[in-house]
Amino acid sequence: MSDAPHPGAGEPGSPLPHGALPHEFDHRHANVSGGWLRAAAFGAMDGLVTNTSLLAGVGGAGLDAHAIVLSGVAGLAAGAFSMALGEYASVSTANQQIDAEVRVEARAQRKHPVSEQTELVGTFVEMGMSEATARAAAEEVHRDPEQAVTIHLTHELGVDPTEKPSPLVAGASSFLMFAIGAIIPLLPYLLGFESLIVGLTVGCIGLLVVGATTAHLTSRPLVWGGLRQLLFGLIAVGATYLVGLVIGVGVPG
């Protein structure tokens, strides 16, 4: 096989022999700024823990299967809407804060362009550039005011104002995954089983699966991720069951 470089392979954006762009052939990074993964994972786990615990609580209180299903469905609806609205508001607020910082930085660059450019030179030097290279790079960056604002905020705050997560995506992901997680412990009841133990077992299996899936998406050990989520869920389920048991004992009739 020839070791000669592929024509144009060293140029930015030029294709390599296998058709990939430079440095894209050996790995790809996940999109960590979209906001959907955190909302989806949190929604699914919260739905599972909330409704499995809710079933344990009302079941521990001695209520019948119909009351358990009614409580579970009500918990699903209330939790899904609460999670979705909360995620939407949270992401929207975070984006608005970033927009405010963009305005602050843009104003600073208009009022003190030399100082801001000098600040960027210092940042580049700290990154390992020579002072001459840092000055040339900072000067080129500041030729585009919008790009200059983005570069400054990326280095000063660790956020890229051009890649903000979508509140709608976060809210929808949270709603959908909470509903899916919350319905899992209800499945035995919806299929005709009226056993609290079966419902709790299915909920615990769901916790294992969601924990392992999240661990897989974040390149963590599957067993550890599943067992950790199961442990957290069991703590909530056990505590809620005890509360229902105590309250149920004191309910007249």
End-to-end CA distance of the chain: 86
pLDDT classification of 163: cutoffs 50, 70, 90: confident
Does residue 8 sit within a domain? no
Q: How many CB atoms lie within 10 A of CB 79?
A: 22
Going 26 to 31 to 36 to 39, the CA torsion angle's sign is positive
Does residue 207 sit within a domain? yes
Instruction: Name the DSSP class of 63.
Output: -
Q: What is the pLDDT of residues 25-73, one digit of tens each?
A: 455 555 555 457 777 888 888 999 999 999 999 998 888 899 999 999 9
- Locate tokens 């823990």: which residue? 49
Does residue 51 sit within a domain? yes
Alpha-carbon Rg for the chain, nearest whole angstrom, is 26
**66 is in which domain, residue-wise?**
36-248
Does residue 150 sit within a domain? yes
- Total domains in the chain come to 1
User: What gap in Å lies between CA 231 and CA 226, rounded to an integer?
Assistant: 9
Does residue 153 sit within a domain? yes
Is residue 220 pLDDT above 90, yes or no?
no
User: What gap in Å lies between CA 183 and CA 88, rounded to an integer?
Assistant: 22
Q: What is the pLDDT of residues 60-97, one digit of tens each?
A: 888 889 999 999 999 999 999 999 999 999 999 999 99
Does residue 20 sit within a domain? no
Does residue 49 sit within a domain? yes
Are the C-beta atoms of residues 252 and 62 closer than 8 Å to each other? no
Are the C-beta atoms of residues 123 and 209 closer than 8 Å to each other? no
